[in-house]
Amino acid sequence: MNCLVLGGAGFIGSHLVDALVGKGHRVRVFDLPNISTENLDGCRGVIEICGGDFENRRAVSEALTGIDVAVHLVSTTLPGPSNENPAYDVETNVIGSIRFLEEAIRQGVGKVIFVSSGGTVYGIPEVLPIPETHPTLPICSYGISKLAVEKYLALFHHLHGLDYTILRLGNPYGERQRSESVQGAVAVFLGRLLRKESITLWGDGTVARDYFHIEDLTRALLLAVESDLPSRVYNVGSGKATSLLDILETMGTVTGLRPAVRFTAARKLDVPVNCLDIGKIGRETGWLPAVSLEKGIARTWAWMKGKVR
């Protein structure tokens, strides 16, 4: 198939690109023109890279030309900062995604895969683990925008017959994730360990999330691209909640290092616990997470150490 990966030079996108190339698909990457494409070095000679802004309708339309399946990984905001400027979040993510869908219809794209956020669209959980049928009451603009794009996908299916699959992700981590960022606790904490810096925790460290390795996510994305799945929306994660304190404990076991930890005020956008019910994707596709937290952190740590040599 001819596949377009929007945001394909990033952490998640580059792993998916590698997997698609490995399965013999023709791959086009769309990402910002000034972003590093180092993550794509392993398949540079066999993929097409298009530089452009997601808000530029013409650039997006050109990238969609001749595409069978498009994977939408683009997000211009992060959960925390999104509450500081909700209008920007809507203007860039929601409106940008609507224009993308309009161009996908115009270009005859057969299917769209959208990566949504299982960590934010549900809001404060009423039950754990959280099933796909749980009420969606996000408490940050990022989650509201993700949910809005999900609804527009359903609308475009209703109006135009556009095929789509939505994956609501837990907290993916692993090789190629940026360690100098405000998102991605595993990568950020390991980066600070490597640089011998202290680690800051919002709240008391008991905030728990559903962490799972990029290898498992890539398998789920590949399933969504290649298969006609019976449902539209799937949770994808580990099915387990792990607190920040437990993450640090596992990192200490793997690395032999114990960082200085500084606690600061809790954030209003953080739900206390997020843990996804992944039974549906398991029953309908056979997908199950295979990489344990300790093994995944060890692989990420080894990759980070190799990067600084």
Of 295, 293, 6, 29, the C-alpha closest to 170 is: 293
- Write phi, then psi, for 303 (nearest 5 degrees): -65, -45
CA dist 246 and 208 (Å) reads: 9
122 is catalytic: no
User: Using an 8 Å Cβ cutoff, are 50 and 65 in contact?
Assistant: no
User: From the candidates 88, 122, 142, 211, which is the catalytic residue?
Assistant: 142
Structure token pair of residue 266: 């809790």
Direct distance between the N- and C-terminal alpha carbons of the chain, in angstroms, rounded to an integer: 38
User: Using an 8 Å Cβ cutoff, are 248 and 242 in contact?
Assistant: no
User: Using an 8 Å Cβ cutoff, are 63 and 50 in contact?
Assistant: yes
Cα angle for residues 68, 167, 203 (degrees, 5° grid): 145
Catalytic residues: 142
